[in-house]
Amino acid sequence: TGCDTGFGHALAKELSDRGVQVFAGVLDEHGSGAQELKKHGSHRLEVLQLDVTDHSQVDRALRHITAAQLGEGGLWGLVNNAGVLCCLADAEILPFTTFRRCMEVNYLSAVYLCQVFLPLLRRSKGRIVNVTSMGGEVPFCFFSAYGASKAALGCFSRVLRMELAAWGVKVVVIQPAGFRTNIFKGCEESKKKILQNLPSVICRDYGETYVCSMQDCLSKVGQQSPEDLRPVLNDMCHALMAPSPKARYTPGQMAWLLPLLYHLCPTVISDKLLKGHKFVDCEPAGLSPKAGSELTRT
């Protein structure tokens, strides 16, 4: 799933080039990412319209894949890669719709896809590969909606791994650090929506300067993330093809070390460690007398 851009797009090409039959689910089959996959030049790569939050599209994809020439072997792998970030802000500032959207796309859709495709996966004794995030393991400020949804997917995956072991189906988690994908796309539009809908008391206490600075800095973080997706692709391919895959892969800088430090250190130390990763260069208006002018509603 989520093959329009990023990890899913690159993985669909990689697996096709390795001789694997790939069904690449995309949010928009007419979009540039889908068109690029169609032009990739392999009969083994088939693009499917698949909004993971639309159960009718998921069911249609199931019927199509079931009707394909899979034989008695079933479907070997399901990669739940589709994900959204929506926008980043303090949990008090984030619109409730952002929490709902992150849970629907990042967690609940993966649960439904697993339930729908498991009969085919059990037939092949295949693999489920769920893409979580370091943000689901470590509580980064501003990532409450995204991190909570990825944490839910991580817990679900661990339970599913134990439940499906008796069926011979392996469940693997890919927990990458930050990479440069399109996940930060739309931050500017999200900032405008936040500013337009903030309650007056929140406007007064946080201020426009703080909200704008937060989103601007986060956009820069996306640009500073590694552009080479190869570490993630290598782990995804190993998770799908190795006879004995790991239960969890952690590609990227600090992807295994930071969670380890967070869990081993006392809370007072881990909190200071994480607060040191500041994304903004100013304080909320209510906490800093020197902050810029407060947001005024018109």
Helix (H, G, I), strand (E, B) or coil at 47: strand
Q: What are the residues facing 46 on neighbouring strands?
A: 23
For residues 63 and 88, the answer to whether their CB atoms sit within 8 Å is: no
Q: Which of 214, 143, 215, 128 is nearest to 178 (CA)?
A: 143
Secondary structure letter of residue 174 according to DSSP: E
Q: Which of 236, 127, 119, 218 is nearest to 178 (CA)?
A: 218
How many residues does the structure list for the chain?
A: 298
For residues 294 and 208, the answer to whether their CB atoms sit within 8 Å is: yes
| 67 φ, ψ (degrees, to nearest 5) | -75, -15
Catalytic site positions? 146
Angle at 199 between CA 222 and CA 216, to 5 degrees: 20
Q: CA 290, CA 283: separation in Å to the nearest integer?
A: 9
> Would residue 25 be called left, alpha or beta, if left means φ above 0 and alpha means ψ between -120 and 50 degrees?
beta
